[in-house]
Amino acid sequence: MKINNPTEWFPIVDEEGNTIGEAPRNVCHDGKSRLLHPVVHLCLYNSKGELFLQKRAITKDIQPGKWDTSVGGHINPGESVEDALKREASEELGLKNFIPAFSGKYVWESPYERELVNSFSTVTDEVPVINMDEIEEGRFWSLEEIKENLGHDIFTPNFEYEFGIKK
């Protein structure tokens, strides 16, 4: 488990996603370095059109206890975007058999970090099995329920931004 592991290393990339170096997690998340590092997001929808969201564990170093994208995680040095997506979906929700559709990529900046977000979505009725070490809880939300709760400090700012792009 790599929650809050300051010795974890991230690839540093340009805005096209080309690796230009590596740096430790604590430097990437220090709010000063502004080093761009890649992540993957997966929006998991069921056949009713509901979106699965995860409530981030309280032990997370960024946005603990907030509702967030179905799956999200850092790409390891030397790992492809596709392999990172499969790994994170398996680690966080136990998902093994899904067909991701690329939604796009964008640079997300917060007071703590800069991420190159590679966003995907999928539709499946496979029941997620959440990893309680990383996720406090998870459930499917109707899109109307999400819209009603935007701007109320329930969701991560990154999720609200990405949700606004996709809706």
Q: Is residue 3 part of a domain?
A: no
- Given this model, what pLDDT does residue 37 score? 98
pLDDT (tens digit, 9 = 90+) per residue, 126-142?
889 999 888 999 999 99
8 Å CB contact between 17 and 81: yes
Assign residue 159 the CATH number of its domain: 3.90.79.10
- Would residue 107 count as lying in a domain? yes
Q: Are 28 and 34 in contact (CB under 8 A)?
A: no
In angstroms, rounded to a whole number, what is the distance separating the alpha carbons of residues 132 and 138? 10
Is residue 144 one of the residues assigned to a domain? yes
Which residue would you say has higher pLDDT here, 60 or 5?
A: 60
Mean pLDDT, rounded, for 110-115: 94
Q: Looking at the domain assignment, is residue 4 inside a domain?
A: no
pLDDT at residue 1, as a whole number: 37
Q: Domain total for the chain? A: 1
Question: Is the CB of residue 95 less than 8 Å from the CB of residue 44?
Answer: yes
How many C-beta neighbours within 10 Å does residue 54 have? 25
Asked if residue 64 belongs to a domain, the reply is: yes
Q: Please give the residue range of the domain that contains residue 69.
A: 9-166
pLDDT of residue 13: 98
Q: Is the pLDDT of residue 151 over 90?
A: yes
Cα distance between the two ends of the chain: 33
Residue 74, domain member (yes or no): yes
Question: What average pLDDT does the chain have?
Answer: 93
Whether residue 1 is contained in a domain is answered as no
Q: Give the DSSP H/E element, type plus range, for residue 65.
A: none
Q: What is the pTM of this model?
A: 0.92
Residue 116, strand partner residues: 38, 107
Q: What pLDDT, in 10s, does the model give residues 68-109?
A: 999 999 999 999 999 999 999 999 999 998 999 999 999 999
